[in-house]
Amino acid sequence: MRLLDIEGLTYGPPPTTYVDLMVTECETEERIEPDERYAWLARLREGAGLTVCTGPAGVNFWRLASPEVRVEIVPDDYELKDRTRDCWSWAAKLAGVTPLAASKWWETPPKESHKAYPQFLAMNGYIQALQVHEPVAALVVNTHTFRVLKETEALDWVASLRGTPDAPVCIDGEWDRATRAVSGIALSVQDDNVYIPVESADYTAPVGFGDRLCRAVSTLMRRTPTLFHNAKADIQALYVGDPLDLVGMPVNDTLVLAYLLGEERLGLKPLTKRYLNRNPVEYPGEIRLLPLPLATRYATADTRNTLDLWPLLVDRVKDREQWAIYETLERPLVPLIATMEQEGMPVDAETLLRLRDDTAHTVAALQQMVWQREGLDLASDVDTTELFRRRLGYRPGKLKKEVISKLSFEPWVDTVLGYRKLRHRLRSFLDPYIERWKRAGQPNTFRAYADFNQAGSLSDDTDSGYVAAPRTGRLSSSGRRTWNAETERWMKDGLNLQNQDREIRELFTAPEGYVFGSFDYAGLEMRIAADRAQDSVMLDVLTTQCSEAETDPDHKCSACDLHTRLQETVTLLYPDVPIDRPAAKQGNFAGQYGGGADMLVTIMAMQRVPLSEEQAQGIMEARKTLYTGYEQFVVQTIKGAQRNGYTETTEGRRRYEPGILSPDWKTRSHAERALANHTIQGTAADILKRAMLRLVPALKAYDARLIAQVHDEIIFLVPSGNANGFCVVAKQAMESVALPNGLPLIVEGGVGQTWAAVH
């Protein structure tokens, strides 16, 4: 139900037509007259879930009701179409700021020297004057009963819990955003929902109780089936000990189940709405800041919803024949990823500071050089676009690397690309590392942390709270979210480990007494493609034991190297097409990903090698002629996808793409490429995950720590004295993962003092 607060709607008596429009649009069932306000306040305090539609004059009154009241802001003296709940946009209009400028200022406020800075100050003044209670979702109806247990009674109750595979014990920890100190734990079983508080607005447990509670819950995780939504976060916050202990334990995760089903909205609340048809509760701030009765209501709602979601998601996963993937691959991987995130990557501060200073000086020098020559600032996208207009006679559509690279191969374009690459390195990686180093107390070495996203990465930019991980099953990495208490906003450290060059890898240095270990699968996707397609040419090359290669590791010939074989085929079929091995290599990769000549042109342009469309077309056509078995495999895969709507990896991981039957060729082509790629890239992802699990015994036996997984590479920290034995066992474990038709996998790697020195 929505309530229209007449007195709070405007500063003066509203026109009748205005009120009528409000009533019609908001489907208001009741209007509130001034003398009715306190009666409604009493009702709202009793827990009725309602939305109050009010203006700035009424907000301060309604914020007294309850954190569960949704306050919809209706700015005064506005036309109906301009109403908004967004105070930022509302204040911008009052200050005479355009919506475009306001949206940019949200991320990057104008400097004091900016001509519009007074308007920006005026906007902030309006916002502060409003003192608006942040709108939160209303709790429409209680779907569960709940109770509080404290201290000894709570610990005894936790010790008595027994879950089953069909009805696990559902757990959800609550903790301080800044310190990550546990403030309470909610648990739900089939017929009970309990909150065990450590800290709330009106209660504080005895000193040491939080630690005892975490130990009790840790024991519970080891001895009985448990359930979480985003289990790795709770494991890191609640589990006492090494999360490796939980590998193989029945620790379940509804987030991972939803990911396997192809859900895009992975947050608990959107899943609750979709599968349970409930209007879930949104926390008004932090649980520890709420009175205990309200904190109990909110916390147990999450565990109740998670537990009720469990059987529905399990049934759907089993219907899609994904249960084996979940049980044997994804579920045991959760605690392994948790320990990997806890370890972090050791960073050498001296190398970091030197690289940051060198990069900053180079960025400044490039910027100054262009300014002196052109009077344009490379830091400005507007000025950079103007530089291209002057030199080329037109403006590029977007200032993306793949667009800029193809515009020209003159040195000044290299300058622009170099500047933008180094500026990105500075802003996205080096500066965030420096901030973490400062927060760590500026030691000689420190740890930087990444999130390895098995199902999705946390995000404030989506209403579901998550950005889904790649649908191939690959682990992606992203900077860890940390709470900045000063700004009261989430921030990310810049530790995305994908596609880092040697200079960045030099930062990561093993601590004293340890070495880096790194192993990756050589030509993994090409081997998977050859094995699955049973392409005779690919198999012949990949199984040839070349005598010259045994004495010369850099030897490449058409008998033992697929890229050289393609190079020779292009020369034979298209004598007028000049080609070297790097172009052939990229042609193999582009074809593997389902790309055509345009993709190859773009790839080579980004490497600053000009390649014409005709040359690229010749390379891609020669590839199809060379690998006829693989091309037939792709055709059959797409036909199967058109019948079934999905394709599978060798482990049985499915990917669904509804666009496979779309009448729009662009949508259909995208789906065909995605589904064909999934059979190869998804299989590679499964192999890496299977290998990580097979490494667990070696990690424990040699006291090694798994710290990262990037593409086809697995990275460790190993005690120096254990390095030789661990390397032998790790290589054997990774190579023991078999392809279905018997083509062996080859693992390469070793140890070194830095990540860059390993290979």
Q: Residues 106-129: pLDDT tens digits?
A: 778 888 888 888 888 888 877 665
Q: Is the pLDDT of residue 9 over 50?
A: no
CA-wise closest residue to 346 among 275, 255, 447: 447
Task: Extract the tokens encoding 185.
Answer: 């734990």
Over residues 58-75, mean pLDDT = 57
308 and 443, same domain (yes or no):
no
Grade residue 62 by pLDDT with cuts at 50, 70 and 90: low
371 and 244, same domain (yes or no):
no
Buried/exposed 500-511: b ≥16 CB within 10 Å, e otherwise: beeebbbbbbbe
Give the C-alpha distances (Å, rounded to integers) separating 338 from 219, 243, 452. Answer: 17, 7, 9
Backbone angles phi, psi at 341, to 5 degrees: -70, -35
96 and 151, same domain (yes or no):
no
Q: Is the pLDDT of residue 530 over 90?
A: yes
Rg (CA), the chain: 30
Q: Look at residues 678, 711, 744 and tell me which one is the last residue of a structural domain.
A: 678
Give burial (CB, 10 Å; 0-12/13-18/19+) of 244. middle
Grade residue 196 by pLDDT with cuts at 50, 70 and 90: very high
Over residues 673-677, mean pLDDT = 93
Determine how many CB atoms are found less than 10 A away from the CB of residue 112: 9
Q: What is the pLDDT of residue 68?
A: 55
Give the strand pairing for 713-719 and 705-710: antiparallel
Grade residue 78 by pLDDT with cuts at 50, 70 and 90: very low
- How far is it, in rounded angstroms, from Cα 237 to Cα 214? 9
Over residues 410-438, mean pLDDT = 92
Over residues 32-56, mean pLDDT = 59
Q: How many domains does the chain have?
A: 4
Question: Terminus-to-terminus CA distance in the chain, angstroms?
Answer: 64
The domain that contains 389 carries what CATH number?
A: 1.20.1060.10
Q: Is the pLDDT of residue 484 over 80?
A: no
Domain assignment of residue 367, yes or no: yes
Q: What is the pLDDT of residue 273?
A: 86
Domain assignment of residue 214, yes or no: yes
Strand, helix or coil for residue 440:
coil
356 and 331, same domain (yes or no):
no
Q: Is the pLDDT of residue 67 over 60?
A: no
441 and 550, same domain (yes or no):
no
Determine how many CB atoms are found less than 10 A away from the CB of residue 514: 22
Q: Is the pLDDT of residue 288 over 90?
A: no
The percentage of the chain sitting over the pLDDT mark of 90, rounded to a whole number, equals 60
**Cα angle 704-708-714, degrees, rounded to a multiple of 5:** 75
Number of H helices, E strands in the chain: 33, 26
- Tokens 């648990």, residue? 187
569 vs 69: which has the higher pLDDT:
569
Q: Is the pLDDT of residue 63 over 60?
A: no
Domain assignment of residue 391, yes or no: yes
Q: What are the beta bridge partners of residue 3?
A: 30, 52
For 398-523, list the strands marked E by DSSP: 445-448, 450-453, 456-458, 466-468, 476-479, 481-484, 489-492, 514-521
Q: What is the pLDDT of residue 89?
A: 66
Q: Spell out the residues 6+ positions from residue 597 whose beta carbon is closer than 8 angstroms to its own.
A: 613, 616, 617, 619, 620
Q: Is the pLDDT of residue 46 over 80?
A: no
Q: What is the pLDDT of residue 490?
A: 67
- Tokens 């590998």, residue? 247
- How far is it, in rounded angstroms, from Cα 210 to Cα 665? 58
The percentage of the chain sitting over the pLDDT mark of 70, rounded to a whole number, equals 83
Over residues 399-414, mean pLDDT = 93
Q: Is the pLDDT of residue 559 over 60?
A: yes
Q: What is the pLDDT of residue 125?
A: 79
* Residues making up the chain, counted from first to last: 759
220 and 279, same domain (yes or no):
yes
Strand, helix or coil for residue 416:
helix
Grade residue 519 by pLDDT with cuts at 50, 70 and 90: very high
Give burial (CB, 10 Å; 0-12/13-18/19+) of 663. exposed
- How far is it, in rounded angstroms, from Cα 729 to Cα 736? 11
- How far is it, in rounded angstroms, from Cα 759 to Cα 739? 25
Over residues 330-344, mean pLDDT = 95
Q: Are 228 and 172 in contact (CB under 8 A)?
A: yes
Which one-letter DSSP state was computed for residue 363?
Answer: H
122 and 222, same domain (yes or no):
no
CA-wise closest residue to 646 among 292, 366, 409, 321: 321
Q: What is the pLDDT of residue 330?
A: 97
The boundaries of the domain holding residue 164 are 147-344
pLDDT digits (tens, 9 = 90+) for 497-509: 887 888 999 999 9
- Any idea which of 369-373, 477-481, 715-719 has the lowest mean pLDDT? 477-481
Domain assignment of residue 488, yes or no: no
Q: How many CA atoms lie within 13 A of 404 on its CB side?
A: 24
- How far is it, in rounded angstroms, from Cα 497 to Cα 353? 19
81 vs 204: which has the higher pLDDT:
204
Q: Spell out the residues 6+ positions from residue 636 whose beta carbon is closer than 8 angstroms to its own.
A: none
Q: Is the pLDDT of residue 140 over 50?
A: no
- How far is it, in rounded angstroms, from Cα 176 to Cα 191? 29
Q: Is the pLDDT of residue 71 over 70?
A: no
Grade residue 22 by pLDDT with cuts at 50, 70 and 90: very low
Give the strand pairing for 713-719 and 147-148: unpaired
Backbone angles phi, psi at 742, to 5 degrees: 95, -5
Q: Is the pLDDT of residue 70 over 90?
A: no
The domain that contains 642 carries what CATH number?
A: 1.10.150.20
- How far is it, in rounded angstroms, from Cα 746 to Cα 732? 10
263 and 166, same domain (yes or no):
yes
Domain assignment of residue 182, yes or no: yes
332 and 194, same domain (yes or no):
yes
329 and 364, same domain (yes or no):
no
- How far is it, in rounded angstroms, from Cα 650 to Cα 534? 14
Task: Extract the tokens encoding 470.
Answer: 């790649």
387 and 323, same domain (yes or no):
no
CA-wise closest residue to 603 among 753, 401, 452: 401
Q: Spell out the residues 6+ positions from residue 619 whose beta carbon is closer than 8 angstroms to its own.
A: 566, 570, 577, 579, 583, 584, 587, 597, 600
CA-wise closest residue to 680 among 535, 455, 530: 530
Q: What is the pLDDT of residue 77?
A: 42
Grade residue 215 by pLDDT with cuts at 50, 70 and 90: very high
Q: Is the pLDDT of residue 29 over 50?
A: no
- How far is it, in rounded angstroms, from Cα 292 to Cα 301? 14
351 and 328, same domain (yes or no):
no
Distance of CA 665 to the CA centre of its chain: 30
Q: Are 719 and 704 in contact (CB under 8 A)?
A: yes
Mean pLDDT of all residues in the chain? 85
Q: What is the pLDDT of residue 660?
A: 92
DSSP 186-212: EEEETTEEEEEESEETTEEPPTTHHHH
For 554-680, list the strands marked E by DSSP: 646-648, 654-656
Domain assignment of residue 95, yes or no: yes
Q: Are 427 and 306 in contact (CB under 8 A)?
A: no
Q: Are 636 and 532 in contact (CB under 8 A)?
A: no
What letter represents residue 262's amino acid?
A: G
Determine how many CB atoms are found less than 10 A away from the CB of residue 165: 10
177 vs 703: which has the higher pLDDT:
703
The domain that contains 328 carries what CATH number?
A: 3.30.420.10
Q: Look at residues 130, 161, 177 and tell me which one is the last residue of a structural domain.
A: 130
Over residues 483-490, mean pLDDT = 65
Q: Are 475 and 709 in contact (CB under 8 A)?
A: yes
Q: What is the pLDDT of residue 13?
A: 38
pLDDT digits (tens, 9 = 90+) for 571-608: 999 888 888 888 999 999 998 888 889 999 999 999 99
Strand, helix or coil for residue 181:
coil
Strand, helix or coil for residue 296:
helix
Q: Look at residues 631, 650, 678 and tell me which one is the last residue of a structural domain.
A: 678
Q: What is the pLDDT of residue 554?
A: 79
| Helix, strand, coil share (%) of the chain residues, nearest 5 | 50, 15, 35
Q: Spell out the residues 6+ positions from residue 758 whose beta carbon is closer than 8 angstroms to its own.
A: 516, 517, 518, 749, 750, 751, 752
Task: Extract the tokens encoding 698.
Answer: 């070696």
Domain assignment of residue 316, yes or no: yes
pLDDT digits (tens, 9 = 90+) for 607-664: 999 998 988 999 999 999 999 999 999 999 999 999 999 999 999 999 999 899 998 9
Domain assignment of residue 453, yes or no: no
- How far is it, in rounded angstroms, from Cα 340 to Cα 446? 16
CA-wise closest residue to 153 among 200, 196, 198: 196
CA-wise closest residue to 259 among 525, 647, 653, 645: 653
Q: Is the pLDDT of residue 33 over 80?
A: no
Task: Extract the tokens encoding 700.
Answer: 């424990």
Q: Is the pLDDT of residue 713 over 80?
A: yes
Q: What is the pLDDT of residue 223?
A: 94
- Any idea which of 283-297, 300-314, 643-657, 660-674 has the lowest mean pLDDT? 283-297
- Tokens 């009701």, residue? 65
Q: Is the pLDDT of residue 193 over 90?
A: yes
